[in-house]
């Protein structure tokens, strides 16, 4: 199945999940993440905020934990004209507003841009990933352009409600590969990352 069909299939599947189940599985994903000790030893984390109408994973569960243990959290601020992302600082007093496509971003006076080079762990939005580490996102390519600007040893984590598929057919050589895939019941170490930490 190609990317377009996979995107349509899993987007529809995710939209059919109840709000109660979304919350439950979001906590289950967080509990899986807690098992990976080395990812919590870093300082700067980049994580997307959930788009509620798309039934995305409630990443505020992860964000609140990171802030509680004294980590720096940054979030994406999207520029749809340039198809790029600014890396913006997030803290407990950040005031958010809903932007295009229902994306939450800091209001202008709370928009503090942080150097991309500081990011050590990045949580990447996706619908589904395969056992090689390729992912299906929304097709805009924001993170495919963003990741090459980060440090080479950044830990790339994909989180999904669905068990990975065997192989995404029409991948491109520049497509982003994740290092760790997390589902409510499993942790998948991809691209030999476990041996590097």
For 147-161, write each residue's pLDDT tens digit.
Answer: 999 999 999 999 999
Establish whether 72 is an annotated binding residue.
no
The DSSP element (H or E) to which 11 belongs, if any, is: helix 3-15
Bridge-based pairing of strands 180-182 and 187-189 is antiparallel
Is 53 flagged in the annotation as binding? no
What are the tokens at 49? 């905020």
133 is in an annotated binding site: no
Tell me, what DSSP letter sits at residue 130? B
- 9 known member of a binding site: no
Residue 111's pLDDT band, with cuts at 50, 70 and 90, is confident
| 54 belongs to a structural domain | yes
Q: Is 141 marked as binding a ligand?
A: yes
According to the annotation, is 140 in a ligand binding site? Answer: yes
In a domain, 166, yes or no: yes
pLDDT tens digits along 36-48? 999 999 999 999 9
Residue 197 belongs to some domain of the structure: no
User: Given this model, what pLDDT does residue 1 score?
Assistant: 79
- Kindly state whether residue 120 falls inside one of the protein's structural domains: yes
Total domain count for the chain? Answer: 1
Residue 143 lies in a domain: yes
Domain housing 114: 3-191
- Distance in angstroms (rounded) separating the CA atoms of residues 139 and 149: 19
CA-wise closest residue to 94 among 121, 67, 125, 62: 67
Residue 18 domain flag:
yes
Has 137 been labeled as part of a binding site?
Answer: yes
Radius of gyration of the chain (CA): 16
On average, the pLDDT of the chain sits at 91
Phi, psi of 11 (to 5 degrees): -65, -45
In a domain, 196, yes or no: no
For the whole model, what pTM was predicted?
Answer: 0.92
82 is known to lie in a ligand binding site = no
Position 177 pLDDT exceeds 80: yes
Q: Is 41 assigned to a binding site?
A: no
Ligand-binding annotation for 96, yes or no, is no
Arithmetic mean of pLDDT, 38-59:
95
pLDDT band at 195; cut points 50, 70, 90: very low
135 is in an annotated binding site: yes
Separation CA 21–CA 27 (nearest Å): 10
103 is in an annotated binding site: no
| Segment 57-68 mean pLDDT | 97
7 is in an annotated binding site: yes
Alpha-carbon gap, residue 61 to 108, rounded angstroms: 24
The response to whether 10 counts as a known ligand-binding position is no
The confidence score (pLDDT) of residue 44 equals 98
Is 158 part of any known ligand binding site? no
Helix/strand/coil for 151: coil
pLDDT surpassing 60 at residue 20: yes
Give the pLDDT score at 84: 80
What CATH number should be reported for the domain holding residue 7? 3.40.50.10420
- Would the annotation count 56 as a binding residue? yes
């Amino acid at each position: 199945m190609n990317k377009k069909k996979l995107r349509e299939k899993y987007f529809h599947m995710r939209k059919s999940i109840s709000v109660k189940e979304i919350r439950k599985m979001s906590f289950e994903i967080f509990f899986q993440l807690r098992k990976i000790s080395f990812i919590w030893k870093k300082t700067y984390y980049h994580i997307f905020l959930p788009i509620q109408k798309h039934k995305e994973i409630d990443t505020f569960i992860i964000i609140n934990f990171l802030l509680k243990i004294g980590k720096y959290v940054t979030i994406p601020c999207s520029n749809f004209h340039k198809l790029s992302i600014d890396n913006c600082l997030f803290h407990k007093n950040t005031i958010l507003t809903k932007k295009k496509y229902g994306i939450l971003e800091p209001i202008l006076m709370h928009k503090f841009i942080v150097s991309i080079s500081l990011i050590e762990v990045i949580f990447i939005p996706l619908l589904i990933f395969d056992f090689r580490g390729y992912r299906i996102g929304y097709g805009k390519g924001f993170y495919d352009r963003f990741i090459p600007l980060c440090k080479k040893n950044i830990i790339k984590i994909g989180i999904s409600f669905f068990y990975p598929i065997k192989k995404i057919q029409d991948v491109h050589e520049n497509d982003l590969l994740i290092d760790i895939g997390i589902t409510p019941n499993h942790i998948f170490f991809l691209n030999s990352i476990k041996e590097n930490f």
